[in-house]
Structure 1
């Protein structure tokens, strides 16, 4: 197994200014520019998809079509994430990002016609594939931009990765704020909106997504010069071995094994908010029209916390402190739901819970991405592929089991999951080096 980098190596400044010749000043700002473009593109694309996802269980109610479609999306997402790393390398960074947007565009577009299972299910399956491509490349692209920016400007690499992740996840979290305010404004006359209002809403979503895709065309490529995955003369067996190694190699790193519970928990808590919190907590208290407002609060605090947490990130110690805070706040919400929540809970209680859940999500998104960027420099694509495998797999589980269990049972599952995930993360921080030493091959 690969050994865990020493904590001192993670905490000290990671400078690479002496490894490459100086570049022109005009080139130094291109990496930051690309992060700005990537962040705004994802905002435009996912404010549409995020708001549509929150409405899916109420818009497509026929035999659970909406919930089942989302379950297929995230099951497919988890499955295809296993093979996404070599596919991304073969496609190249920019092509992979653009291909990944196609599934989201089709998913929104199909809502402008009558939804049936034989249309929704295949598109959901394809969306899972497209999602695996765009999200593995997003993590790789952002990390590559941060490393190059730090190298070109003699900056602390860990802090630069944190700053870039903070900006991206802040913009991405804003999707919940703007997308749900849009839904709230357009569907204001009814719990589900009239057919005309719903069609207009999805038309606006499609326009927003199209603008985001166009903007993404202005990104610069971040492809590496490695030829290992592009040598067409290699034999089939060599290609197969390389593919299998790329898919499973991260699992042979002890650090990854301790991070996986936290990855899976982030998927559980996101799906809990989308499928459980909106349906069983917000709707009984505020009505369906309150879902957009509650999710806007969630998105607002998610965005602010993403930016702040990214700025504070500098190494493993700060990551540990931030993750501790995020886990504690979300655990408070689960205990609150178990002990004191009732359908008569007022607006202030719902807003407070949405805010705490949003803060926790902002912490987890930024810190896990920063952690993978610092730990897995040789196989960044593979590390982010593992993130999406476990995250999307956990999301799919929630969507499939949600109709079968009560809110109380789900909250107990969530509280147990956050304790296990945090315990594994603490062990990584406190005893990781000893664990590696005792299990090293």
Structure 2
């Protein structure tokens, strides 16, 4: 196997692993508030929005420390352990208790920070300047298939359901837990790039991967952690310092506006919009199943965007002269159009009503076609922003990928936590206004950083404030 083939294989395995883990987690998040409304009147009292706000708050607080964790454990072991935590969070809903629900929300926040930092590191070390755009697109497209499978099941299983029964809940979450565990196991199939293996063989032997493969069945992961902690303490300290330094660069501070927007819109399409559709009584018996159908079309938009602007990135740039900025502008157009149509189509109190739903009229007669079209636009626009952000950050900080992606997720998760916090209280029109304003500001910030990157990053240098 050639070095380039192995790297591409690693990227595909990485994308498939995330696809399985997030088939479980994103489906869980999409239906979470609706499911909780169905069980809140019994022994369980909690809020899906509050849980997600906790997750992203802890996520943001953990991000600046995760480069040290990844340096100690390696990206592969970090992702494997984090995947197991994701599985545990989903499993909580099989028999939910308030204390276990919120405790799992805290723990998965830490695991998410480790997972995404390790993902950014793994993606970057398996890419170079010529393949980072392609590999980002491959990863993003595979990841977004996670929005199809779980939501497809929800659409058919919940069609005609007005209330989610305990049996339906347990069936769904048991299946999602198994799917997440499969994705976690897939992480051990990722192999070290050949160039790194050869470099290691010429110097000091590195036992990162072979002991890891054996450890899956022999439970020696704790031993691996101890060994790596003893061998690499300086790497952990250096990774933390690097994350702080990168966070204080002019480029990242400016780009943070765009990154923060992706956190806000992530909250909206992954948690709020589906809940709004499920609470709109005008859709009748199909309201709950529309949550799943909406998730499917968000996924379709994500996959098309990832494939077009990731896999065809080199072609678009070389032959059509389309760089990152036009793609982000397309994302802005898709999202502004979607927000306007949602404003007209969905009742204003839909995000905050109880399980009985809302009978309030929108500006238009609520249309299922418009609702699903907006889901597609939300997914397509999100892929435009995220594929280009992944490509730009990977390009600017190729040699400091783990701390750079930790900062990326730090900013994104703070904004997501804030958004999930206000989603409990703000009417739809105010949430859409916040999204529109930050979308414009974020697009401007991205364009400025992209222009600066083209002119001054040929030597991979950057000026600190």
Interval containing the TM-score (normalised by the shorter chain): 0.7 to 0.9
Q: Deviations over 1:42-90 (max 9, x none)?
A: 1111111111111111222334432221111111111111111111111
Q: Distance in 1 between matches of 2:453 and 2:185?
A: 44
2:399 counterpart SS class: coil
**Aligned match for 2:102, one of 115, 118, 121:** 121
Report the alpha carbon displacement of residue 350 of structure 1 after superposing the two structures with TM. Answer: 1.0
1:268 aligns to what? 264
1:297 aligns to what? 297
Contact map agreement 1:191 1:289 (CA 8 A) in 2: no
CA 1:75–1:181: 2 relative to 1, 3 Å = same
Report the alpha carbon displacement of residue 433 of structure 1 after superposing the two structures with TM. Answer: 8.5
2:64 aligns to what? 82
> What are the within-5 Å matches in structure 2 for residues 10-409 of structure 1?
25-61=1-37, 62=40, 63-113=45-95, 115-147=96-128, 157-158=129-130, 160-221=131-192, 242=238, 244-281=240-277, 283-284=279-280, 285-286=282-283, 287-314=287-314, 318-338=323-343, 342=362, 344-409=365-430
Contact map agreement 1:48 1:206 (CA 8 A) in 2: yes
TM-score by length of 1: 0.84
Contact map agreement 1:93 1:221 (CA 8 A) in 2: no
CA 1:202–1:30: 2 relative to 1, 3 Å = same
CA 1:57–1:440: 2 relative to 1, 3 Å = closer
Q: Distance in 2 between matches of 1:192 and 1:369?
A: 40
Contact map agreement 1:260 1:390 (CA 8 A) in 2: yes
Q: Number of aligned residue pairs: give it.
A: 403
Contact map agreement 2:127 2:135 (CA 8 A) in 1: yes
Give the superposed CA RMSD: 2.9
Report the alpha carbon displacement of residue 335 of structure 1 after superposing the two structures with TM. Answer: 3.0
Report the alpha carbon displacement of residue 231 of structure 1 after superposing the two structures with TM. Answer: 8.9
TM-score by length of 2: 0.80
Q: Distance in 1 between matches of 2:399 and 2:14?
A: 23
1:289 counterpart SS class: helix
1:29 counterpart SS class: helix
Contact map agreement 2:162 2:288 (CA 8 A) in 1: yes
Contact map agreement 1:57 1:64 (CA 8 A) in 2: no
Q: Deviations over 1:176-202 (max 9, x none)?
A: 111100122233351343211211111
Comparing 399-408 with 278-287, greater Cα deviation is found at 278-287
